[in-house]
Amino acid sequence: MTAGWFERATGRGSRNLAAGIACLLLTACAGPPAPTRWVKAGVDDATASREVADCRAQATAAQSKQQGINQDISATLGRNWQMSDTTRFQDRSMQQDAAGAADQVFNSCMRAKGFKREG
C-alpha cells in the first residue's frame, strides 16, 4: 500500500508514462534514413553496381566472421550472462557490433575503389 501511495504522491508513474510516450513518438516520427548513393566520376551504373556488389560480399564475409567470433564468446560466457540476466543485452550488443563491422568494411571498400558518398 505505501509503495503505491509513494509513487502516486511523487508523480513517478506520470513521469514514466510521459517518458514512454515521448520515446514512442520519437521512434514513430523518425523515418528510415535516406539511402546512400556511392558515386565516382566516369563510372557507369553497371560498373558501380558491380563494385557495390563486390563490397557487399566483403562486408557479408566480415559480418559472418564476426558472428562466428560472437558465437564463440557466447559459448564461453553465455552461462555467466544467463546468471546475471544480461543475455539479451549481450546478444543485441554483439549483433550491433557485427553489423557495424560489416558497415565499416563496406564503406572502406567503396572508398578504396575511389567512390564517394552522396546523400
What would the DSSP string read from start to end of 48-96?
A: HHHHHHHHHHHHHHHHHHHHHHHHHHHHHHHHHHHHTT-HHHHHHHHHH
Per the structure, how many domains does the chain have? 2
Range of the domain at 45: 34-118
Say yes or no: 23 and 70 in one domain: no
SS3 at position 5? helix
CA distance 35 to 118: 9
Give residue 119's pLDDT: 67
Tell me: do 74 and 101 sit in the same domain. yes
* pLDDT for the residue 41: 92
Q: Are 13 and 27 members of one domain?
A: yes
- What is the structure's pLDDT at 33? 57
Q: Give the three cell numbers for residue 71.
A: 558465437
C-beta neighbour count of 109 within 10 angstroms: 19
pLDDT at 70: 77
pLDDT tens for each residue of the chain, 119 residues long: 455 554 455 555 555 656 656 555 555 555 555 577 889 999 999 999 999 999 999 999 998 888 888 788 877 877 776 777 777 777 888 888 888 899 999 999 999 999 998 86
Q: Assess whether 47 and 17 both reside in one domain.
A: no
Same structural domain for residues 44 and 25?
Answer: no
Question: What pLDDT does 15 receive?
Answer: 59
- In this prediction, residue 6 carries a pLDDT of 47
Any bridge partners for residue 117, and if so which? 38
The answer on 16 and 45 residing in a single domain is no
